[in-house]
Amino acid sequence: MSVETIKVGEGEDDMRLDRWFRVHFPEVGYTYLQKLLRSGQIRIDSKRAQANDRVRSGSEVRVPAIVRQPKKAAPGLQAPPGVSKGDRDLIEKMIIFEDEHVLVLNKVFGLAVQGGTGTKKHIDGMLEGMADRFGGERPRLVHRLDRDTTGVLLVAKSRDIAAKLGRTFQTRSAAKTYWALVKGVPKPPQGKIEAALVKASGPDGDKVRKARPGEQDVAMHATTHYSVIDRAARKASWVSLKPVTGRQHQLRAHMHLIGHPIVGDNKYEGDVDMPAENMDKKLHLHARRLVIPHPRGGTIDVTAPLPEHMQRTWDLLGFDAQKFE
């Protein structure tokens, strides 16, 4: 099979391989990328690679030439041309900021951001089917949120803008603030969690856990700052979470590690012994605010209102989100 070798540019240093791949091959879906990685067809400096590997400036990424022919990819890896009126309306309702270059959505609960095994409906595919609405070019995700996490999701309207915003995320110049309801009251009320994480697949799907001695080669450094905003006696706390890094399930795993899992989290013991009756058994984690330099100058500063299930909980516990608008 013919292959292509691409040298990593200086501006792409320390970029995750899956994000680097989206910049260079936006037409190739994440599921197909995973298939290529598992079969060893993608390599970094001749070594087998994983999606979360970091590319380095000057490294050579080997890819099979077939990725240049997306039309030959297996069925289901690409979104169909166009989406239903209902899906278009849903995207329109989620838009909380838009200009010529970027789009910011307030992602709803339970909607996947990207496709995967058994996932046919997702934001990435819906946006691709609406290319006509956004200037004709395929909109590109700049970052991701878990299926059940709600809130601010940044989308670029062009490949160039996506690449620039991606590099900004890599340099940690994006300030992300999440709101969550956690079990109990963390002590001290403000703190920093530094715990490297490793993937740990199980019967309930992908999870992460704290790295153990000897796992340094596969561990992902992760840092989270937290602050208690308000509390309901000793049963639950409204916390502000600010991730320094952006690892899979980072906030969920970190809060579980310090003994205060996020309420409703069915992967990290947050859905048992709910703090109050009549509380929605849904993940109470919301990407509240994003502040990031705009690639064309100025700053993107967007705040997303709470989803309905969290607003009901806030009302139930007597929390006032308007105090922090």
User: Which of the following is catalytic: 18, 53, 124, 146?
Assistant: 146
- Exposure string (b/e) for 289-325, b if CB count within 10 Å is 16 or more? bbebebbeeeebebbbebbebbeebbeebebebeeee
Cis peptide before 188 (omega within 30 of 0): yes
130: left (phi over 0), alpha (psi -120 to 50) or beta: alpha
271: annotated active-site residue: no
Coarse DSSP helix, strand, coil percentages of the chain, rounded to the nearest 5 percent = 25, 30, 45
Q: How many CB atoms lie within 10 A of CB 146?
A: 18
Task: Please name which of 202, 188, 217, 216 lies closest in space to residue 249, comparing C-alpha atoms.
Answer: 202
> Looking at the DSSP assignment, which residues form a beta bridge with residue 155?
103, 141
How many Å apart are CA 188 and CA 231, to the nearest integer?
A: 13
Which residue's structure tokens are 């197909």? 32
Max Cα-Cα span within the chain: 64
Which residues are known to be catalytic? 146
